[in-house]
Amino acid sequence: MLELTPLLNPERDEPLYAQLYTYVREEIREQRLVPGRRLPSQRSLARHLGVSRNTVDAAYQQLLAEGYVHSEARRGLFVAELPDDLPPSGRRIQEKDSPHGSVQAFGTLPEQNRRAAPTCDFRYGDIDTDHFPFKAWRTLAARSLSAENAHLLLYGEARGEMDLRKQIAKYVYQARGVSCRPEQIVVGAGTPYLLDLLRRLIGDGGRYAMEDPGYLRARRVLEESGRSVLSIPLDEHGIRVDRLAAAGANTVYVTPSHQFPLGMIMPAARRLELIQWARERGGTILEDDYDSEFRYEGRPVPSLHSLDPYGNTVYMGTFSKSWMPSARVGYIVLPEKLLPAYRQYEDLFKQTVPRIEQHTLGLFMESGEWERHLNQMRQLYKKRYTALHEAIGREWGDSVRVVGSAAGLHVVLELGGALAGLSEQDAIDAAKRRGVIVYGGSVFRHDPVEKTPVRLLLGFAGLSETKIEQGISLLGQAWRDPER
Amino acid sequence: MLELTPLLNPERDEPLYAQLYTYVREEIREQRLVPGRRLPSQRSLARHLGVSRNTVDAAYQQLLAEGYVHSEARRGLFVAELPDDLPPSGRRIQEKDSPHGSVQAFGTLPEQNRRAAPTCDFRYGDIDTDHFPFKAWRTLAARSLSAENAHLLLYGEARGEMDLRKQIAKYVYQARGVSCRPEQIVVGAGTPYLLDLLRRLIGDGGRYAMEDPGYLRARRVLEESGRSVLSIPLDEHGIRVDRLAAAGANTVYVTPSHQFPLGMIMPAARRLELIQWARERGGTILEDDYDSEFRYEGRPVPSLHSLDPYGNTVYMGTFSKSWMPSARVGYIVLPEKLLPAYRQYEDLFKQTVPRIEQHTLGLFMESGEWERHLNQMRQLYKKRYTALHEAIGREWGDSVRVVGSAAGLHVVLELGGALAGLSEQDAIDAAKRRGVIVYGGSVFRHDPVEKTPVRLLLGFAGLSETKIEQGISLLGQAWRDPER
């Protein structure tokens, strides 16, 4: 009677309800469940599958919302007649009322779930969640959430909590050589938000340039100034300062610690060139040090900010990689020259990060827990990086080059040799058919280039070593036989 | 030996360290502590005063940062020589490295602390912190902060957590008649941020108008579009739609539930006029319902959104008043016509409110705790409003009129009769000398008007009834004898 027997795997990244939803949807789409057929009751299916009723409920709600089933009062759910022109399912989930935030990723990968949920998603932006110090954080959060700290309920300083800014000042000095007073630091709800604030501080005179390929969101934020953002090509050392100087910009957004997306580390000489450019131009460097915490080889190169004696560099940091992406805590270190402009904006936007969260993060850093967590993550990610790097070598040898340095939470693969004939889209599609999600590098490019090898972006922070090896092996199969 | 014996009062709004700091600074300024004099050690002063060493440390750090004392290695702190041209102290605190966020208010009130810390600050934006359900919140936060919810560490949906948006959709429907699907709701880090998002969605075609006097931050955000925001005068029913129609704008920002700052409630007839204007103009109404939770008399007027059948109204809400200001959670309900534009921006700015906080707030609402808290606050604020209203009547009779309706968390006093000769600045200064902080209404006005009575804004949510009565009595003394 209960013909629904999906293989639900709690170890997958995808929540159980989404796996169940995908399974039932495919059963309906492929007419194994025919229109008019009644679905099992939530209770009986939950018992049958050994999952909670909430899981079944969430899957059923999704199916209902998308019109795959309809409800009849007191009788239950029935498989609906499907129209012929059904749009790709991924997109629809995002448009409709999806019961969990985690489904959102489907929306950005429209085709991903047509066949099956992915086995391995090399999504960039994920972190490891298995080793998060929930207990330590709960303890500190409970301490913040007490009547003694009642003042934390009220508006705080626009720049952020002083306690937290002091900890950040200490950290950026020790880890990145950034020397600043806490009052130069502004905390805010994420890098795009803070970049938008910087755009306002720089004002109408800002003529922006950035790396190409580069961080898309940064481009779109800066383009809000109503002007186009100039694209500056890269060489193996990062942004080409000669081309920057020729372009006529006065403000440049760069990712020198680990170029996004290509991953090269800008050597000191190039950094000094850039600093010299800013000096001569009377310009400003926006240094986004987004994942500098993670470096697996060699000596760290000091931040651009620490090398710039002229005060033309804004240092930008984030806790998205080193703590959690969903906390939305970033910070900028303003040079003295931007402080007067900041004071004018200080009243406009109140602080955007909850005060209690800031206070807890301050305690977390002060207690040394953050440092401990960071060290643990560094080791973990290094293992994952190594596993990925080795698996790539084993799988493809010289046909795939890993671009960039041993740092950060993603790698870029450049296809060559036997794989040189594969287009980016074909490589992505073939992978998808094997349940592996990889991301095209071409979207990060702004100006078209004549001939460029196919590049794919693989985030690894959220995947275990086993998962990584499995994923690369599937990717090997997929690209050996891309038509299947 | 320990000549420092300030009267520290833990019941004051001002933190102990700030009280201590103010005391010592005044001792120095008034030369009761002469240059070269050594301050007691932190330990001995802490013991002497029965406060923690942290409190003394914070006060000392502030004095050091401001140059009132200097430090000699291994000897301690000594009173410094003061220059003659010492700037007003309030401003300096903000510029320097202040140890606590709560000092920030000093910065906006430069003169406030020259004599003494205020006895009663009618600051707008505060809420009651004594009745905050810390325990219930801790329990729910701990539930969110668990390994089962590990997915909450990762990026979520750009619009915000679906669980929370469902609760918001339910609340705005029940309480404000706003009927919407959860996918029309976008959660964000505060009203200015969300208004800025709306400005982008509306795009270059937006020609903005708003109430005058009105909410300053809203004006400044909308002015970012590079155009001036047209000022529309008010009458006793709120914004004048005839003047709006004549002004040529197509987008208007209004606060119909409780006009900010004047406090009138827009009657239904005026709301319908405004809706008709938007329809004829092809325009958009931005309805900021910032404190609609608090209404102490009469029947609630339905939201503008609920009366607008044409889908031209954006509904804006916040948890700053009904929960806590520092959490930075606001939301907007987008009409269908703005959804396509939103989808284009959806990828640009990630969600700005931490996911775990959103999840906890969703649980808080779902459990009924929020509703309970809101009911309790409504009763509490009603008592405070009544105490304030009655104290004003007792103190001044007909010389002071309370403008606006019995709603929200502030009142506006209009000076007349015997007080008609007092200028706004004199009224504020005289109050300050008695330790009472009140806020001038003229800053909220954009276009100058020829003759207008003096208006002062008094927030009451963070003050007990006793405090309110004491404050009004001091204000009475201050204005009877403004020269003292």
The residue type found at B228 is S
Residues of A in contact with B146 (CB under 8 A): 134, 138
pLDDT of residue A97: 34
Q: Report the pLDDT value the prediction gives residue A91, as an integer from 0 to 100.
A: 29
Q: What's the confidence (pLDDT) of residue A114?
A: 40
CB contact under 8 A, B152 and A326: yes
A445 to chain B nearest CA, in Å?
Answer: 16
Whether residue A351 and residue B357 make contact (CB cut-off 8 A), yes or no, is no
Question: Which residues on B lie below 8 Å from A181 (Cβ)?
Answer: 97
Rounded Cα distance, B445 and B423, in Å: 16
| Chain B environment of A137 (Cβ under 8 Å) | 145
Q: What's at B119, amino acid-wise?
A: T
Interchain proximity B161–A351, CB inside 8 Å: no
Q: Cβ B104–A156 below 8 Å, yes or no?
A: yes
Contact A183 B141 (CB under 8 A): no
Cα end-to-end span (Å), chain B: 35
Contact A352 B217 (CB under 8 A): no
Q: What is the pLDDT of residue B258?
A: 94
Which of A350, A356, A439 should one mutate to test binding to chain B, selecting the residue with the greatest count of B CBs within 10 A?
A: A350
Q: Which residues of A touch B325 (CB under 8 A)?
A: 153-155
| Chain A residue nearest residue B220, CA to CA | A348
Query: Strand, helix or coil at A378?
Result: helix
Contacting residues of B for A328, CB less than 8 Å apart:
189, 350-354
What digits encode the pLDDT tens for the residues A365-395?
A: 999 999 999 999 999 999 999 999 999 999 9
In angstroms, what separates the C-alpha of A248 from chain B's closest C-alpha? Answer: 24
Min Cα separation B41/chain A (Å): 23
Q: Do B154 and A326 touch (CB under 8 A)?
A: yes
pLDDT for the residue B96: 32
Chain centroid to CA B264: 18
SS (H, E, C) A178-223: CCCCHHHEEEECCHHHHHHHHHHHHHHHCCEEEEECCCHHHHHHHH
What is the structure's pLDDT at A94?
34
Minimum-distance CB partner of A150 among B129, B157, B192: B129
d(CA B75, CA A310): 36
Cross-chain residue pair A353–B161, CB shorter than 8 Å: no
Q: What is the pLDDT of residue B317?
A: 98
Predicted pLDDT at A265: 92
Question: Residue B313 in contact with residue B335, Cβ under 8 Å?
Answer: yes
Residue B103 DSSP label: G
Query: What is each CA distance from B55 to B13, B58, B119, B398, in whole angstroms?
Result: 15, 5, 20, 45
B151 and A15: CB-CB below 8 Å? yes
CB distance A193–B134 less than 8 Å? no
Question: What structural domains does chain B harbor?
Answer: 16-117 (1.10.10.10), 149-369 (3.40.640.10), 372-480 (3.90.1150.10)
Q: Which of A224, A325, A352 sits opposite B155 (nearest CB)?
A: A325
- At A457 the three-state DSSP class reads strand
Residue of A nearest to B218 (CA): A348
The pLDDT value given to residue A52: 83
| Chain B residues with CB-CB distance to A462 below 8 A | 154
Q: What is the pLDDT of residue A112?
A: 37
Residue ranges, chain A, pLDDT below 50? 1, 85-115
Q: How far is B225 from chain A (nearest CA, A)?
A: 10
CB contact under 8 A, A189 and B189: yes
How far apart are alpha carbons B189 and A160 in whole angstroms?
A: 14
Map residue B480 onto helix, strand or coil. helix
Cα-only R_g, chain A: 25
Query: Nearest-CA residue of chain A relative to B93?
Result: A183
Task: Name the residue among B182, B193, B357 with its Cβ closest to that of A349.
Answer: B193
Across the interface, of A137, A151, A158, the residue whose CB is closest to B102 is A151
With an 8 Å Cβ cutoff, are B355 and A101 in contact?
yes
A185: closest chain B residue by CA: B97
Task: Give the nearest chain A residue to B216 (CA atoms).
Answer: A348
Contacts of residue A100, Cβ cutoff 8 Å, sequence gap at least 6: A15, A17, A18, A58, B151, B162
Predicted local confidence at residue A101, as pLDDT: 31
Q: Do B349 and A192 touch (CB under 8 A)?
A: yes
Is B351–A328 a contact, with Cβ atoms under 8 angstroms apart?
A: yes
B354/A102 Cβ within 8 A = no
**Residue of chain A whose alpha carbon sits nearest to that of B129:** A150
Answer yes or no: do A462 and B154 touch at CB < 8 A: yes
- What global pTM score does this model have? 0.77
Q: Is there a contact between A353 and A188 (Cβ–Cβ < 8 Å)? A: yes
| Residue A381 to chain B, least CA–CA distance (Å) | 16
Give me the sign of the Cα torsion angle B17, B22, B23, B29.
positive
CB contact under 8 A, B154 and A325: yes
Q: For residues B215 and B213, what is the distance between their CA atoms, to the nearest angstrom?
A: 7
Are B326 and A152 inside 8 Å of each other by CB? yes
Supply the pLDDT for residue B76: 85
With contacts defined as CB-CB under 8 Å, which chain B residues touch A147? 130, 132, 134
Q: Which residues of B touch A158 (CB under 8 A)?
A: 104
The chain A residue lying nearest B91, using CA atoms, is: A343
Nearest to A356 among B97, B99, B326 (CB): B326
Q: Which residues contact B274 (CB under 8 A, 6 or more apart)?
A: B239, B241, B244, B252, B254, B256, B266, B285, B304
CA distances (Å), origin A190, targets A135, A293, A355, A362: 25, 17, 15, 17
- Select from B132, B183, B329 the Cβ nearest to the Cβ of A150: B132
Residue B175: Cβ within 10 Å count = 17
Q: Give the pLDDT score at A36.
A: 83
Instruction: Identify the bridge partners of residue B251 per DSSP, sorted by sequence position.
Output: B208, B284
Stretch (H or E) spanning B325: none
Q: pLDDT 10s per residue in chain B (484 long)?
A: 456 777 777 777 777 888 888 888 888 877 778 788 888 888 888 877 878 888 888 888 778 866 788 888 778 888 887 655 443 333 333 333 333 333 333 333 333 334 456 789 999 999 999 999 999 999 999 999 999 999 999 999 999 999 999 999 999 999 999 999 999 999 999 999 999 999 999 998 999 999 999 999 999 999 976 778 999 999 999 999 999 999 999 999 999 999 999 999 999 899 999 999 999 999 999 999 999 999 998 777 789 999 999 999 999 999 999 999 999 999 999 999 999 999 988 877 789 999 999 999 999 999 999 999 999 999 999 999 999 999 999 999 999 999 988 999 999 999 999 999 999 999 999 999 999 999 999 989 998 877 889 999 999 999 999 999 999 999 999 999 887 7
Nearest neighbour of B156 by CB, restricted to A96, A104, A150? A104
Do A357 and B355 make contact, defined as CB atoms within 8 angstroms? no
Q: How far apart are CA A484 and CA B329, in angstroms?
A: 48
Q: Minimal Cα distance from A221: which residue of B?
A: B348
Comparing alpha-carbon positions, the chain B residue that sits nearest to A327 is B354
Does the beta-carbon distance from A142 to B147 stay under 8 Å? Answer: no
Contact A352 B193 (CB under 8 A): yes
Contacts with B347 from chain A: Cβ below 8 Å: 108, 217
Instruction: Using CA coordinates, name the residue in chain B closest to A157.
Output: B101
